[in-house]
Amino acid sequence: MDTVQDQFARRLEEKGISISSMLDQFEGYYRELVSWNEKMNLTGITEREQVYTKHFYDSLSLAFFIDITEVERMADIGSGAGFPGIPLKIAFPHLKLTIVDSLSKRISFLQHVCNELKLEGVELIHGRAEDIARQASHRDSYDLVTARAVARMALLNEFCLPFVRKDGIFAAMKGNDPAEELSESKLSLKELRGQLEKVESFSLPIEDSARHIVIIRKTGVTPVKYPRKAGIPAKSPLL
């Protein structure tokens, strides 16, 4: 264990998360991310300490505010290079994780990562969230659904809430204060049976940049008309 990993592990230990036995997997993930990033655009962050802080630690911050040990099925929508889903799966191996992403190259990368890290119980789906959420095996099915830096809340609610089971949680991971987004997303929350529970705030270590996690409770099953056909929510968000 070097300084970067030691600091990473210690900061998480302070939050009650022990990942010391998973450090080899995180390092393997880092190596594959940097290697594949030379062939395709996965991330603008490749410096090792920054990856551990801005991607790995940031992804695991969800577990500071939600008890992941109580979560069985989790879906990560628009996961990109696998954040926050893959770091959470490494730290909490019991999770049954589904990742949905619209770019097949990213799904290929994530399949490679899962193979290399020997991660089991991960389903990788190439497709649009609006289409996948209409499938019976995914609709109203997940205990926890996440999205990290994907879109504004009015749009995210339609992408993500249809996946969440009644009484389950949708957690949107944001950088800047989401107050304005939340104000404009009241209609979409109501339509998609979501209720804002709280917004948690913290700062990333080292660079001290702000992070916010919007926690929404699903209050009922998704109305039949949602989500609308792929592409429509982005062109005409529920405002």
Domain membership of residue 104 (yes or no) is: yes
78 is in an annotated binding site: yes
Question: Using CA of residue 121, residue 127, residue 128, residue 131, what is the dihedral sign?
Answer: negative
In a domain, 136, yes or no: yes
Residue 60 lies in domain:
3-228
Pinpoint the alpha helices (H) of the chain: 3-14, 23-37, 48-50, 58-60, 62-65, 85-91, 104-117, 129-132, 153-160, 179-184, 186-191, 232-235
193 falls within a domain = yes
In a domain, residue 237? The reply is no
83 is an annotated ligand-binding site residue: yes
234 among the known binding-site residues? no
pLDDT digits (tens, 9 = 90+) for 164-179: 999 999 999 999 999 9
The residue-averaged pLDDT of 71-97 equals 97
Q: Is the pLDDT of residue 206 over 90?
A: no
Query: With 80 as the cut, is the pLDDT of residue 150 above it?
Result: no
Mean pLDDT of the chain: 96
What is the pTM assigned to this prediction? 0.96
**Would residue 197 count as lying in a domain?**
yes
Number of domains in the chain: 1
Each residue's pLDDT tens digit, 6-55? 999 999 999 999 999 999 999 999 999 999 999 998 999 999 999 999 99
233: in domain: no
Q: Which whole number is the average pLDDT over 123-135?
A: 97
CATH number of the domain at 180, please. 3.40.50.150
Q: Using 50, 70 and 90 to split pLDDT, how confident is the model at 207?
A: confident
Report residue 149's pLDDT band, with 50, 70 and 90 as the boundaries: confident
CA–centroid distance for 45 within its chain? 17
129 marked as binding residue: yes
- Is the confidence at residue 1, as pLDDT, over 80? no
Rg (CA), the chain: 17
Q: Is 121 annotated as a binding residue?
A: no
Please check whether residue 239 lies inside any domain of the structure. Answer: no
